[in-house]
Chains A and B, each alone.
Chain A
């Protein structure tokens, strides 16, 4: 399976994503933000960083990059797209995911390990996650507070589009375990077709034991499983 990893000016987790995917035994390559095609991509990762210096709003400029038109097309055709950190912000700005990410409630940049509860395990981004497994994955952001209006939040809940929530080590989604003030402790969501997802924590920084946690692999492995399943379905 081949992952296309986008690269914007001031992306800084692009190489981490390329590496994480290769560690899992799959291929990956960078796609420059001015490119208008994604090449032979089976999935797309929009990586973390500070694209375009976070000018105006995080992700606001990146969403107009030529490559984002290709990503939109890819997503419309059902392709798997994962946005991590700044990538999540870009996907929200692009309208591929609902809501927005705003300043952390304490105005601090948070660079720390957090725990995540997988709120819906029946998706292409979560299916490989063991039941009741609390994921330990780092965050590193200043604008990760998820906001959406009440009707949107209700729709996210009703459709089970909330994939990951900040929790404590036991899996309880408490306010104390919420690092940034996100509504409903939301760390990551999917669109209503479940082929586009975004999250603030960095699975790319937690896919090898040497990095302190390999829990991020479950997210990439879920995507691989979903892609394999789709291939089988297409062949049949």
Chain B
């Protein structure tokens, strides 16, 4: 079982990296790119037999306290087989 965590900059936060990647895509000729947001992906291997609900609760707290910074980032947490 794995936990998959996607962390993205909040909409209100300046994301110069996303902007530059967007510019590059446009320069390369890719059409219809309305916005790019560059974030982070964290994958956590969970021990066999871990209770999914308990893991979600604990990792949700970890995301809030440590893995993301709620001042500048949003996160999505997914528990997958």
Contacts and interface: CB of A to CB of B under 8 A. Distances in A.
A143 to B, nearest CB: 11
Contacts of B67: 56
A53 B30 CA distance: 35
B55 interface: no
Interface string B2-32: 0000000100111011001000000000000
Interface residues on A, range: 10 to 19
Interface string B51-78: 0000000000000001101011000000
Contacts of B17: 103, 107
Given A107-B16, A107-B20, A147-B14, A102 B72 contact: yes
Contact of A147 (B16, B20, B66, B72): B72
A149 B71 contact: yes
A45 interface: no
A171 interface: no
A110 interface: no
Contacts of A147: 13-14, 71-72
Contact of A148 (B14, B16, B66, B71): B71
A160 interface: no
Contacts of B12: 149
A87 to B, nearest CB: 17
A106 B14 CA distance: 11
Contacts of B69: 57, 60, 93, 100
A181 interface: yes
A105 interface: yes
A145 interface: yes
A79 interface: no
B14 A102 contact: yes
A200 to B, nearest CB: 16
Nearest to B68: A57
Nearest to A181: B14
Contacts of A64: 66
Contacts of A145: 14
A105 B14 contact: yes
Contacts of B20: 107
A106 B16 contact: yes
B15 to A, nearest CB: 8
A93 to B, nearest CB: 7
Contacts of B13: 102, 147
Interface centre among B14, B17, B67 (most CB of A within 10 A): B14
A105 B71 contact: no
A149 B11 CA distance: 11
Interface centre among A99, A100, A102 (most CB of B within 10 A): A102
Please provide the 10 A-B residue pairs with the shortest distance between their CB atoms, ordered closest to farther: A100-B71, A100-B72, A105-B16, A107-B16, A100-B69, A147-B13, A102-B72, A147-B72, A57-B69, A105-B14
